[in-house]
Amino acid sequence: MMDNTNYAYAVSRIRVLETRLLGRDKIDRMLEAANAQDAFKVLAETEYGTHMEDIGEAYKYEAVLSKEIKRVYSLIKSLMPQPKIMDMFCIKYDVHNIKVLYKNRFLNIKGSLPLIDVGSIPIDRLTEIIKEKNYKDLPLPIAQTLRKLDEITAIRPDPQHINLMLDRAMFEAINDMAARFRYPFIKELAAIQADVTNIMSFLRIKAMEGGSPLLDKVLVTGGKLEMSFFTEMADQSVDAFSSRLEYSPYGQLLKEGIEHFTKTGKLSRLEKLADDYIMEYLREHKSNPLGPEALIGYLLAKENEIKIIRIIMVGKINGIKSQVIKERLRDVYV
């Protein structure tokens, strides 16, 4: 069903762009830079440089990063022969914006909100939708959830509850979209993302004292691991959980991540391993010259790169030693 010939142009453009992702050497140079300004200067030599003509100060790095993510999304959107696929990846920004706008109904902050203009729905339009409670243009699961929220929160809004419900709706919406494409790569990717999200939530709740009642609320649909599996495992130990999944595709990452978790109580390592797992999945598939794989792979690689830059810049601005930032990065990026 994919009209493959249209992808030839897009994919080979991406192949060139892939060579311009920040390499090890650039990241090392940023790490080794004497101060934030010098680290920022390294960025000026890269693709980020185009946004930096008028943004000279290092502490304004966020502006550069947000311009870059906007640029990358609109580039991929324009390249993608089936732009609808992009909705699956834009929706996280839409949901972020919806959360902010929805909560602002009760907070009533005037002035600019922390919205990200990368989603599939323009911010003005989204503001209007939320203001007028006219949800019919939103993906169905999200619209339904908002209507449900309207009924409950009229009395007492709970921000965490809003977040959880909307996250769930987002995964449902992603599933719907993935199903519509009938393309194994995309379905699989959506399933992996749902699984990873569930595994992370499960362990986070495990780490919390008495969090188990929450579990039902945080699990999302669409993964290859059934939701009932997680509820079943709710009362069992983390190790039991890991050994039940030993022969699943996630066995390796769980083993390593949970080892680190029981030793340090931190989930950061597992988070990184999960990211790697997704990246590895993308890497395996991106060689297809006539499919969306390379484009999506590039998009997520770019998001990962921005994550790394943010960690470095935050560290540098706060005067944290490069050794410590490196340590922190090692969890995210090896």
Partner 1 sequence: MELGQVYAVLGAAVAAILAGIGSAIGVSTAGQSAAGVVTEDPDKFGQTLLLQALPGTQGIYGLLIAFIIMGKINIFGGMVPVAEETGLMILMAALPVAIVGLLSAVYQGRVAAACIGIIAKRPEELGKAITFAVLVETYAVLALLASFLLVNGIQV
Q: Which residues bind partner 1 (CB under 8 A)?
A: 5-6, 8-19, 287, 289-290
Of 6 and 268, the one with the shorter C-beta distance to partner 1 is: 6
Compute the least distance from the CB of residue 78 to partner 1, in Å.
Answer: 12
Decide whether 11 or 169 has the Cβ nearer to partner 1: 11
Distance of CA 217 to the CA centre of its chain: 20
Q: ∠ at Cα 27 (24, 28), nearest 5°?
A: 80
Tally the C-alpha atoms within 13 A of residue 58's C-alpha that lie toward its C-beta: 21
Residue 209's contacts (CB-CB under 8 Å, 6 or more residues apart) are none
Q: How far apart are CA 119 and CA 81, in angstroms?
A: 18
Give the gyration radius of the chain's Cα atoms. 21
Q: How far is the CB of 115 from partner 1 (least distance, A)?
A: 31
Question: Closest by alpha carbon to 281, among 197, 196, 160, 174?
Answer: 196
Nearest CB to partner 1, comparing residues 10 and 162? 10
- Whichever of 47 and 331 has its CB closer to partner 1, that residue is 47
Residues 215, 90: Cα–Cα separation, whole Å: 26
Nearest-approach distance from CB 16 to partner 1, in angstroms? 4
Q: Is 197 helix (H, G, I), strand (E, B) or coil?
A: helix
Angle at 288 between CA 286 and CA 289, to 5 degrees: 115
Q: b/e string for 206-232 if b means 16 or more Cβ within 10 A?
A: beeeeeeeebeebbbebbebebebbee
Q: Which CB, 71 or 103, lies closer to partner 1? A: 71
CB closer to partner 1 out of 13 and 328: 13
Q: Is 167 within 8 Å of 193 (Cβ atoms)?
A: no
Residue 319 C-beta: closest distance to partner 1, Å: 38
- Taking the complex as a whole, the smallest distance from the CB of residue 246 to partner 1 amounts, in Å, to 36
Which residue type is seen at 272? K
Nearer to partner 1, 1 or 16 (CB): 16
